Structure 1
Amino acid sequence: MVNIGSPRNGWTVGADGGVDLRRAPAEPRVVTVAARPQTVTLDLTRCALVVVDMQNDFCHPDGWLASIGVDIAPARAPIEPLRRAVPWLRAAGTPVVWLNWGNRPDRANLPPGVLHVYDPQGRGAGIGAPAGPRGTPTLQQGSWSAAIVDELAPAPEDILVDKYRMSGFFDTPLDSVLRNLAVTTLLFAGVNSDQCVLSTLSDAACLGYDVVLLEDCAATTSPAYCHEAALYNIAQCFGFVTDSKLLIGG
């Protein structure tokens, strides 16, 4: 017998050359958690945790955001809840996907509208430009700036996906990766809750995934009302909002 594909989505080829298209069922890991607008029951083996933009340029004192005068304390708030939740979810059989800005050095796939967000005065700053005390290129693939903060170092089995827009689904392999993981429900965390997290979550809902935001694992450096509006719209229009402590029981 030869396995073709991933353990979560693979075929078996027998010695006689016959192909078995059945996927081996995973033993369900069921939890029920209080959420808004309704209590939800999840099979953690059919979930994936998508952690958005917990990277140095947004969450480290030497990163780009801090270098332009933004208070990054809110962006660091999800670190401790994630340090508790991520190992628990891994142990439950839930894949962990780290979704970060990681742009091409030549920025060839970025239109003016995206570049303008990070360089509104057109001064040659923003994406790809050196920033902060370390002078590393802002949000550039492979740089310290784009790396996940040390406190949340990924495990070898985790999956890293680079993104180039507010939504992690546009121009990336994220949807293919998630479908190959055979997941139907996405747990969301990261920053900013009202920007990249919300954009990716809403696209996920439009693509047919069930979506759940872990509120204590998500934050924004925007004004507080932006975060509250994101929570309202997620629970009202797209899916559910809960807390990681309710999920993991502590």
Structure 2
Amino acid sequence: MGRAGLIVIDMLNTYEHDDAEALVASVRTALPGVTALLERARAAGAPVVYVNDNFGRWRSHHGEILQTALSGPRADLVEPIAPDEESLFVVKARHSVFYETPLAYLLKQLDVRRVVLCGQVTEQCVLYSALDAHIRHLDVVVATDAVAHIDTELADAALRMMERNMAAELRLSGDISFQEARSA
């Protein structure tokens, strides 16, 4: 048995990229779910790990990434979900939160066996992260009201793939528990 941990994917963002306008509306919709998950995970003492792109800035660290996002034109989408002092942080360069990052090692050290995924983008980073969690024999939960997408149809297909092919539980944020994980 292990415990649950919350993985917040790519929410520290300046939204200064080609698909930003399509994404922003979905992020606004997902924001209350992400905020609720953060509050509940913190209250339960569950690990909260932010995993975020470094935007090609190879000398950046989590403080710089956060400040860049807070200084961007969409700071209102970052402020409500900004990491607190207890939050952990992993920098990634590709889609999956696991690809060439220390996340798997960190989760093992924290005895996390059940990962709750929230963030962006459902049909990209969330999908690839769910697959990588599944092949690492982690239980995967995706908070359907706390993930944002660029393309609605692709996001819906990605959620179905996560549920069917990766045994991911699809749940609303209010229905997700941060109690002990089921046995692996």
The TM-score normalised by the length of structure 2 is: 0.81
Indicate the percent of aligned positions where both proteins have the same amino acid: 29
Deviation string 1:115-140 (CA, Å, 9 cap, x unpaired) is: xxxxxxxxxxxxxxxxxxxxxxxxx6
Please say which of residues 180-189 and 68-77 is displaced more in the overlay. 68-77
More helix by share: 2
Deviation string 1:210-238 (CA, Å, 9 cap, x unpaired) is: 1010100112012x111110111111011
Residue 166 (structure 1) aligns with: 95
Deviation of 1:68 after TM superposition, in Å, equals 6.4
Of residues 222, 231, 242, the one that matches 2:159 is: 231
Deviation string 1:43-93 (CA, Å, 9 cap, x unpaired) is: 8x7000101011222xxxxx3137965451112322111222211111112
Give matches, 1:106-125, under 5 Å: none
RMSD: 2.4
Q: In structure 1, what is the Cα distance between the partners aligned to 2:20 and 2:139?
A: 36
Residue 118 (structure 2) aligns with: 189
Residue 56 (structure 1) aligns with: 13
Residue 96 (structure 1) aligns with: 48
CA contact (8 A) 1:75 1:192 kept: no
Task: Work out whether 1:76 is the aligned partner of 2:28.
Answer: yes
Residue 17 (structure 2) aligns with: 65
Residue 138 (structure 2) aligns with: 209
Aligned residues: 167
Deviation of 1:149 after TM superposition, in Å, equals 1.1
Secondary structure, counterpart of 2:17 in structure 1 = helix
Structure 1 residues not aligned, in runs of 5+: 1-42, 58-62, 108-139
Distance 1:243 1:71, change over 3 A: closer
CA contact (8 A) 1:235 1:241 kept: yes
Does 1 or 2 have the higher relative contact order (CA < 8 Å, sep 6+)?
A: 2
CA contact (8 A) 2:12 2:82 kept: no
Q: In structure 2, what is the Cα distance between the partners aligned to 1:203 and 1:154?
A: 24
Task: Work out whether 1:149 is the aligned partner of 2:78.
Answer: yes
